[in-house]
C-alpha cells in the first residue's frame, strides 16, 4: 500500500523569510569581492538559486506536496516511479510544515536581514538537505556500491524506516532541499483476481555463478521482469552471446530446471531472493534443442511446467519420481496448472523417502527470504491429524475448479503436494518454492520478501483451501431470516443448514464452529440474535483491553473526606461498569448511590448519567469525580457549589478579580421548595469534613481506633467526634448567611445575593459560588478540593516484582465480554431505522473438531505495530470448554493441544517457529525453518505463543483419560 501523507489544516497565511538557513544545513559563506555567495553543501546549488525555488511559506510546501500526491493517486498504473526517503528526514519535514500552521507563530516578523528570536526559532525547524544515509548500505559509501548502484539496507519497514513518495513529490523536495541519494523504485501490479498496486522496494537479487571461471556476480531485476530480460542482462554482464548461454535454476547449488528464453516472469518460474543461477556456455551446433550436463551428456531441456499430472497429485500418496515427460491432466485449464518444479526441486530425492504408509512429517521447511511466518503456519496445519489424513487420500473429486471465490484448485493441489513431500522426505528439509509461488499469485499481500503475520496467512490458507475444495458446485441463493423470538435451537439449526448449503468442505468439517451473536440497540433496546460460523477465535489479551481509571469520590452528604480510587475496567466498557467497580472499591452501601461528573477548569463540565455511555468517551487526561449520597436523602433539587479565591483583599471578593479554584461540590436539597436558609445549611453540611478542627479530630480518632486517614470514610463513634458534629450543626443554625455565598448562572458570569427566606422552585439545579475569604481559609482545609488526580497519569508505571501471567480462560472471558461496537462498525437497527453503536455479546454455540486460538499480541498504530509479550498460561491437556458452550449436544468439550505457532522478538525483526506433536510418537518437536529437533513438553509453554491448535478429545472418562495419539 502506498504510504499517504498526513493532512494538516492550514490555519493562517504567514510569510517567513528564507534568506538565511540553519547552521545545521551546512551553509558555507564565500565572499567574492564585495558580494557574498551562500552555497548549500552537497546540493550543487548556491543559496540564491535554492531560495528562488522555495515556496514562500511552509503551508505552500505542504499544499504543493498534497496536490501532487492526490494527482498521483488518480493515475495509478504499473511502471509509475516512486522514491524511497528516510523517515527520519521526512518526519522532520512534516513537523516543519505542520509548525508553519501553529497559532503561536502568529505575529509580525522582521523582514530585515537579521533574525528575530521568533524567526530564529522557526528556522531551527527547517530540515536540511534530504539525507538517506541511514537507510542505504554503509551510508552510500562509493566503495560499497554494486554496479554503481546504491543499495537499500535489508529488513527496513515502511513508515518506520522509510516512506514512499511519488516522482513529482521527490522532484519538488529535491528542488527545494537537495541532498539524496535518489532511490527510485517502480510500481508493479500483483495478483490474479484482486490486482494490487505495490511499489517494489526490494527487487529480486540473484547470485549468478559463471561455470566458465566460477566467478560470481549479483543480478538485480524486478520479479516481474521476464526470463528474456534476465538473459539479456546476464549476457551483457558476462560478455556471452545469448544463443551460446544456458541458464539454470541453481537453487541450493543443484540444477533444478533450465531457464528458457520466454516472456514468463522471474516470479512465475519460482526464482527466490538471493538464490543462485548458473551460467553455462554451450556449442550452438550441438545444443539447439538439447544441452549437455557437466559430464558432457545430452540433457533434455526441462520446461517450467510441472512434470507430474495434477490429477495424479490429488489421487493419493503415490509420489512422482520426477522423470515424467511433462504430461498435464485435461482436468484443469493449461493456464492454471503447472507448479514449475518437481519434487526434487524442493529438496526431495528418492533416497530420503520414509517407509511406505508411514504418516510422519519430520522435514523442515527452508526459509525463502523472511518466510518463517509461512513455515510456522504450514507446520501447524501439516500436523493437524484430520487434514493430514484427508490430503494423503484421493481428494481429486472434491477439487472445485469453477468456484469464482476459489483458486481453480491450484492452492489445494499445491498444499497437498507439499504435505506429501513433507511426509515422504524423512528429515530432509523441503524448499516450498512452488507453494510460495501460488501463494504470491493468489494472495499478493504475501508476495515479496517482507515479514508477514502467520495468523493472516493461516486465515487466507484455510479460506482458500475451503473454496478450492468446496463440494457445493453451484451455491444457492438463501435469504436469511431474523430470529423473531424463535427458540435459539431452531434458529441455530436453520443458520447452520443454510451455511452448509453453500459451504461444504473438509475445512468446514474440521475447523468451523458456530457462535451466537446478540446485538442490543442502546436507544430502543431492540435485540437481534444471529448464529454465525467461525474458523478460529481471535482472543484479546486482558492487558490490551483493560484500562486503569482513577476517580475521586466525594461525600454529597458531608459524611467524610474525599478519596481517590483506582479501578481496572474493560476499555470498551460502560459507565455502569465504572459505577459498579467504584461501588466495590469504596464499599458503597445498598442504600447509597454514586453520581459521576467530569471536572474541567474548576467547573462541572458534564454529568455521566447514562449507564450505557461508553468509557472510551472518558480520556486519560480528564478529571472524573463521583458524589456519594444516601438514596433516601436525595431530593429533586440539585445544588452545585463552586469555589472562588479572591486575588486581592477579602473586602473585594465580590469584584471580578476573584477566580475559580478546586472541585465543585454537589449535593441535593431534600425540601420540596428549598429556601435560602436550606442552601446555607446544605453548604455548611457539605463543608463539615473539611473543617480543620473536625478533620484533625477524625484523624486522631481514626488513629486511636486503628484506621488510616488516607481517604477512608471514618465513622467517629467516640464522644469527642459527636461533640464536633454537634458544634457544626449548631454553627449552621446560628450563623445564618455568614458564609459569603452568591447565586450564579450557567455561565458563572452573573452573581446575585439572596436571603434566608428566599424560596426556590423545586427540581431546578441551583448554583452558588463560595468566596473563600481569610475567615474560610482559616476555618476549612481547602487542599482536599485541589489537585484531584487525572483518570490515568501518563508515564506512570507501577513497580512489579514479577509479571503476572494471563490465563487462556481470562482471554476467552474477555473475548465473550459484552462490549459496544466501535464508531466505524455501527449496526443498523431495524426498529430505529438508523445505524447505532450497538452493544454486542458473543457466545460459543457449537465447537469444531479443531479449534485455533489466535492471541492478539499486536497493537496497530499509524507507523508501526507494537507487540505485547505477556505470558499466557494455556493448558496442554484437558482444556475443558464446557462452561463456554451453550449447545449441549453430547459432544466432548475437552481438547488437547497439538501445535503452536510462536513469534519471537518485535515485529519486523521478529522470527516465527512452531511446536508440533508428532502423530504416533506422542512426542513434541520444534520446527525452526529447516531445523527440526525434539523438545520436552514442559518447554513448549512460552511467552512467544501466538497461535494455539487444539484437537477434540473424543472419549473422556470421569478420570479424564486422554485420547491416544
Active site residue 142: no
3-state secondary structure of 492: helix
Q: Are strands 637-645 and 765-771 parallel, antiparallel or unpaired?
A: parallel
Q: How many CB atoms lie within 10 A of CB 476?
A: 8
Give the integer Cα–Cα distance in Å for 97 and 699: 57
Which of 205, 372, 380, 645 is flagged as catalytic? 372
Active site residue 372: yes
| Cell numbers given for 42 | 552537497
> Residue for cell digits 494455556?
874
DSSP assignment of 893-931 equals: -EEEEEEEEEEESSTTT-EEEEEEEETTTTEEEEEETTE
> Residue for cell digits 462490549?
819
Q: What share of the chain is helix, strand, coil (3-state, %, to 5)?
A: 30, 25, 45
Q: Are strands 765-771 and 741-744 parallel, antiparallel or unpaired?
A: antiparallel
Give exposure, 809-821, as e/b (b: 16+ Cβ within 10 Å): bbbbebbbbebbb
Confirm if 714 and 701 have CB atoms less than 8 A apart.
Answer: yes
Give the integer Cα–Cα distance in Å for 875 and 807: 9
Confirm if 955 and 892 have CB atoms less than 8 A apart.
Answer: yes
Residues whose CB is less than 8 angstroms from the CB of residue 485 and which lie 6 or more positions away in sequence, other chains included: none
Q: How far is CA 369 from CA 205, 274, 436, 927, in A?
A: 11, 8, 11, 17
> Residue for cell digits 493449461?
334
Q: How far is CA 350 from CA 359, 424, 508, 916, in A?
A: 17, 9, 35, 26
Residues whose CB is less than 8 angstroms from the CB of residue 612 and which lie 6 or more positions away in sequence, other chains included: 522, 574, 575, 576, 820, 839
3-state secondary structure of 304: coil
| Helix ranges (DSSP H) in 167-214 | 167-177
Which of 499, 792, 893, 911 is flagged as catalytic? 911
Residue 503 half-sphere exposure toward CB, CA atoms < 13 A: 23
Residues whose CB is less than 8 angstroms from the CB of residue 739 and which lie 6 or more positions away in sequence, other chains included: 680, 683, 684, 770, 776
Confirm if 552 and 562 have CB atoms less than 8 A apart.
Answer: yes
> Residue for cell digits 522426505?
425
Helical pair 676-687 and 719-735, crossing angle rounded to 10 deg: 150
Beta bridge partner(s), residue 530: 517
3-state secondary structure of 235: helix
- Angle at the Cα of 207 from the Cα atoms of 201 and 213, rounded to 5 degrees: 155
Q: How many CB atoms lie within 10 A of CB 746?
A: 9
Give the integer Cα–Cα distance in Å for 955 and 659: 75
3-state secondary structure of 328: coil
Confirm if 579 and 573 have CB atoms less than 8 A apart.
Answer: no
Q: How far is CA 573 from CA 613, 617, 618, in A?
A: 9, 10, 11
Give exposure, 852-861, as e/b (b: 16+ Cβ within 10 Å): bbbbbbbeee
Beta bridge partner(s), residue 209: 216, 278
- Residues noted as catalytic: 372, 911
Amino acid at each position: 500500500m502506498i504510504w499517504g501523507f498526513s493532512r494538516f489544516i492550514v490555519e493562517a497565511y504567514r510569510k517567513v523569510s528564507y534568506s538565511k538557513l540553519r547552521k545545521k544545513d551546512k551553509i558555507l559563506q564565500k565572499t567574492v569581492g564585495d558580494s557574498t555567495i551562500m552555497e548549500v553543501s552537497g546540493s550543487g546549488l548556491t543559496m540564491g538559486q535554492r531560495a528562488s525555488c522555495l515556496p514562500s511559506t511552509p503551508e505552500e510546501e505542504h499544499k504543493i506536496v498534497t496536490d501532487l500526491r492526490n494527482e498521483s493517486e488518480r493515475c495509478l498504473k504499473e511502471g509509475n516511479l516512486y522514491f524511497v526517503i528516510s523517515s527520519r528526514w521526512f518526519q522532520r519535514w512534516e513537523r516543519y510544515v505542520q509548525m508553519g500552521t501553529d497559532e503561536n507563530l502568529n505575529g509580525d516578523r522582521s523582514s530585515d536581514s537579521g533574525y528575530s528570536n521568533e524567526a530564529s526559532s522557526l528556522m531551527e525547524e527547517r530540515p536540511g538537505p534530504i539525507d538517506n544515509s541511514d537507510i542505504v548500505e554503509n551510508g552510500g559509501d562509493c566503495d560499497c556500491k554494486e554496479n554503481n548502484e546504491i543499495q537499500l539496507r535489508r529488513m527496513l519497514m515502511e513508515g518506520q524506516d522509510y516512506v514512499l513518495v511519488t516522482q513529482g513529490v521527490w522532484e519538488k523536495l529535491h528542488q527545494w532541499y537537495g541532498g539524496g541519494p535518489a532511490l527510485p523504485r517502480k510500481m508493479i501490479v500483483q495478483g490474479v483476481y484482486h490486482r494490487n498496486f505495490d511499489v517494489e522496494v526490494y527487487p529480486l537479487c540473484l547470485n549468478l555463478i559463471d561455470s566458465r571461471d566460477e566467478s560470481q556476480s549479483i543480478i538485480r531485476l524486478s520479479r516481474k521482469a521476464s526470463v528474456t530480460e534476465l538473459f539479456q542482462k546476464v549476457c551483457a554482464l558476462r560478455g556471452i552471446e545469448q544463443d551460446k548461454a544456458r541458464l539454470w535454476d541453481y537453487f541450493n547449488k543443484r540444477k533444478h530446471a533450465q531457464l528458457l528464453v520466454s516472456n514468463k516472469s522471474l516470479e512465475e518460474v519460482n526464482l527466490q531472493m538471493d538464490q543462485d543461477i548458473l551460467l553455462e556456455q554451450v556449442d550452438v551446433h550441438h545444443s539447439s534443442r538439447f544441452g549437455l550436463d557437466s559430464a558432457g551428456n545430452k540433457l533434455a531441456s526441462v520446461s517450467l511446467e510441472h512434470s507430474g499430472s495434477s490429477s495424479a497429485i490429488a489421487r493419493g500418496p503415490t509420489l512422482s519420481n520426477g522423470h515424467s515427460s511433462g504430461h498435464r491432466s485435461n482436468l484443469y485449464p493449461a493456464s492454471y496448472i503447472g507448479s514449475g518444479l518437481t519434487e526434487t526441486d524442493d529438496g526431495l530425492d528418492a533416497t530420503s523417502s520414509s517407509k511406505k504408509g508411514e504418516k510422519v512429517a519430520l522435514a523442515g521447511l527452508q526459509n525463502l527470504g523472511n518466510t518463517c511466518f509461512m513455515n510456522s503456519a504450514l507446520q501447524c496445519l501439516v500436523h493437524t491429524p484430520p487434514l493430514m489424513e484427508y490430503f494423503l487420500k484421493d481428494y481429486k473429486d472434491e477439487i472445485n475448479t469453477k468456484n469464482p471465490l476459489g483458486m481453480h484448485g491450484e492452492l489445494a493441489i499445491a498444499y497437498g503436494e507439499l504435505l506429501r513431500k513433507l511426509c515422504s522426505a524423512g528429515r530432509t528439509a523441503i524448499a516450498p518454492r512452488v507453494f510460495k509461488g501460488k501463494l504470491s499469485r493468489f494472495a499478493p499481500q504475501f508476495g515479496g520478501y517482507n515479514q508477514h503475520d502467520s495468523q493472516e496467512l493461516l486465515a487466507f490458507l484455510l479460506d482458500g483451501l475451503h473454496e478450492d475444495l468446496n463440494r457445493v458446485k453451484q451455491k444457492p441463493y438463501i435469504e436469511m431470516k431474523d430470529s423473531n423470538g424463535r427458540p435459539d435451537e431452531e434458529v441455530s439449526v436453520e443458520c447452520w443448514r443454510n451455511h452448509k448449503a453453500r459451504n461444504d468442505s473438509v475445512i468446514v468439517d474440521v475447523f468451523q464452529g458456530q457462535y451466537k451473536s446478540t446485538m442490543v440497540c442502546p436507544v430502543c433496546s431492540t435485540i437481534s440474535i444471529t448464529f454465525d460460523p467461525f474458523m478460529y477465535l481471535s482472543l484479546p489479551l486482558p492487558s490490551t483491553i483493560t484500562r486503569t481509571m482513577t476517580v475521586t469520590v466525594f461525600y454529597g452528604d458531608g459524611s467524610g473526606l474525599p478519596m481517590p480510587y483506582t479501578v481496572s475496567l474493560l476499555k470498551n466498557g460502560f459507565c455502569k461498569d465504572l459505577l459498579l467497580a467504584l461501588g466495590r472499591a469504596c464499599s458503597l452501601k445498598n442504600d447509597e448511590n454514586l453520581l459521576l461528573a467530569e471536572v474541567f477548569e474548576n467547573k462541572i463540565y458534564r454529568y455521566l448519567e447514562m449507564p450505557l455511555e461508553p468509557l472510551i468517551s472518558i480520556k486519560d487526561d480528564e478529571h472524573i469525580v463521583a458524589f456519594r449520597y444516601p438514596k433516601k436523602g436525595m431530593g429533586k433539587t440539585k445544588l452545585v457549589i463552586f469555589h472562588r479565591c479572591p486575588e486581592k483583599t477579602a473586602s473585594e471578593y465580590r469584584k471580578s478579580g476573584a477566580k475559580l479554584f478546586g472541585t465543585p461540590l454537589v449535593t441535593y436539597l431534600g425540601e420540596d421548595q428549598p429556601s435560602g436558609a436550606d442552601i446555607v445549611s446544605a453548604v455548611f453540611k457539605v463543608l463539615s469534613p473539611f473543617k480543620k478542627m473536625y478533620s484533625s479530630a477524625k484523624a486522631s480518632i481514626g488513629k486511636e481506633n486503628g484506621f488510616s486517614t488516607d481517604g477512608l470514610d471514618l465513622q467517629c463513634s467516640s464522644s469527642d467526634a459527636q461533640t464536633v458534629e454537634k458544634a457544626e450543626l449548631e454553627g449552621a443554625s446560628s450563623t445564618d448567611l455568614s458564609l459569603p455565598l452568591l447565586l450564579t448562572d450557567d455561565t458563572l458570569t452573573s452573581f446575585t445575593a439572596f436571603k434566608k427566606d428566599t424560596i426556590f422552585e423545586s427540581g431546578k439545579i441551583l448554583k452558588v459560588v463560595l468566596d473563600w475569604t481569610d475567615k474560610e481559609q482559616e476555618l476549612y482545609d481547602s487542599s482536599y478540593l485541589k489537585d484531584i488526580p487525572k483518570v490515568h497519569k501518563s508515564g506512570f508505571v507501577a513497580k512489579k516484582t514479577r509479571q503476572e501471567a494471563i490465563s487462556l480462560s481470562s482471554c476467552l472471558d474477555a473475548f465473550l465480554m459484552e462490549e459496544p461496537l466501535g464508531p466505524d462498525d455501527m449496526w443498523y437497527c431495524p426498529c430505529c431505522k438508523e445505524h447505532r453503536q450497538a452493544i454486542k455479546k458473543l457466545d460459543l454455540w457449537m465447537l469444531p473438531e479443531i479449534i485455533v486460538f489466535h492471541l492478539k499480541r499486536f497493537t496497530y498504530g499509524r507507523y508501526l505495530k507494537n507487540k505485547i509479550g505477556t505470558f499466557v498460561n494455556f493448558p496442554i491437556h484437558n482444556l475443558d470448554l464446557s462452561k463456554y458452550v451453550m449447545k449441549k449436544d453430547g459432544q466432548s468439550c475437552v481438547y488437547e493441544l497439538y501445535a503452536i505457532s510462536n513469534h519471537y522478538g518485535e515485529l519486523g525483526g521478529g522470527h516465527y517457529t512452531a511446536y508440533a506433536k508428532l502423530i504416533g510418537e506422542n512426542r513434541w518437536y520444534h520446527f525452526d525453518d529447516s531445523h527440526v529437533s525434539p523438545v520436552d513438553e514442559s518447554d513448549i509453554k512460552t511467552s512467544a505463543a501466538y497461535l494455539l491448535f487444539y484437537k477434540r478429545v473424543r472419549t473422556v472418562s470421569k478420570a479424564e483419560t486422554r485420547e491416544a495419539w
